[in-house]
Amino acid sequence: SAVPAMFLGLHAGHVWGTLKEPKAALIHWLALGAVLVIAGSALSFWLPLNKRLWSPSYCLCTTGAATILYAGFFGAVDATALHPQSARAFAGCVRIALAPLQWLGANCILFFVLSDCCGVLDFLLRSITWGQPHAEKNIVAWFQNIVLMKWFNLGAHCSGAYADCGPAVMTYIWVEILAWIVICGVLFHKNIFWKI
């Protein structure tokens, strides 16, 4: 079921390459997204939405929603010719606000491989250890257990270890995302991109 989503993404890019007209491309993407969401919703009565199995209804709904979201981003950031003169300053602010998404997307392979998706960087950081046991005496465990749980007192309302403390886990995730935005932003501005 993931293959149709990939082909629909390819189709979205092909539409822009073929039409080269922002208004026509936006109309196409919005209509396509709406049709996919409606088809996925209708199909969900017979084949329920199921993320783990990537059911066809789930694939259609999420692909349609992503297409509509992409059209919205394109309309707000890239299709500035469609905006009235008074709204162009706002579009510039939106472009600045969404720049971190561009940075992450420009180095998405690096982000995927080194982030927690594949865990390469986490593995490398956890290999920096001192003493025994290695699982508790590494730089990641130090940051989670000492910095977040003790220094920032995020473990005050939690009983147990870091893994059982929701606020500490969420803070670690946000710190990690911000770190990746900074890393990818620096690479983007230095024109360094990982490609396949």
Q: How many CB atoms lie within 10 A of CB 147?
A: 15
Q: What is the mean pLDDT of residues 37-52?
A: 88
Reply yes or no on whether the pLDDT at 105 is more than 80: yes
Asked if the model's pLDDT at residue 118 lies above 80, the reply is no
Q: pTM score, two decimals? A: 0.71
Count Cβ atoms below 10 Å from residue 109 Cβ, excluding itself: 12
CB count within 10 Å of CB 158 equals 16
| The pLDDT of residue 1 is above 80 | no
The Cα–Cα gap between 110 and 190 comes to: 15
**Using one digit for the tens of pLDDT, what is the confidence trace for 17-44?**
898 888 889 999 999 999 999 999 999 8
User: Quick one: average pLDDT of 108-126?
Assistant: 80
* Lookup: tokens for 6: 């990939």
Q: What is the pLDDT of residue 41?
A: 93
Share of the chain above pLDDT 70, in %: 98
CA separation for the pair 99, 184 (Å, rounded)? 11
Q: Which range (50-54, 97-101, 186-190) has the least confidence?
A: 50-54
Estimate to the nearest angstrom the gap between the alpha carbon of 70 and the chain centroid: 13
3-state secondary structure of 129: strand
pLDDT: which is higher, 89 or 109: 109
Name the 3-class secondary structure at 77.
helix
Q: What is the pLDDT of residue 90?
A: 78
In the chain, which residue ranges form alpha helices assigned H by DSSP?
Answer: 2-19, 22-43, 56-73, 88-97, 99-106, 108-114, 120-126, 139-142, 166-189
Q: What pLDDT was estimated at residue 71?
A: 92
- Per-residue model confidence as pLDDT tens digits over 141-190: 888 888 888 888 887 777 777 777 888 888 888 888 898 899 999 999 99
Distance of alpha carbon 76 from alpha carbon 94, whole angstroms: 7
Alpha-carbon span 152 to 175, nearest angstrom: 13
| CA gyration radius, the chain | 22
**Arithmetic mean of pLDDT, 74-103:** 81
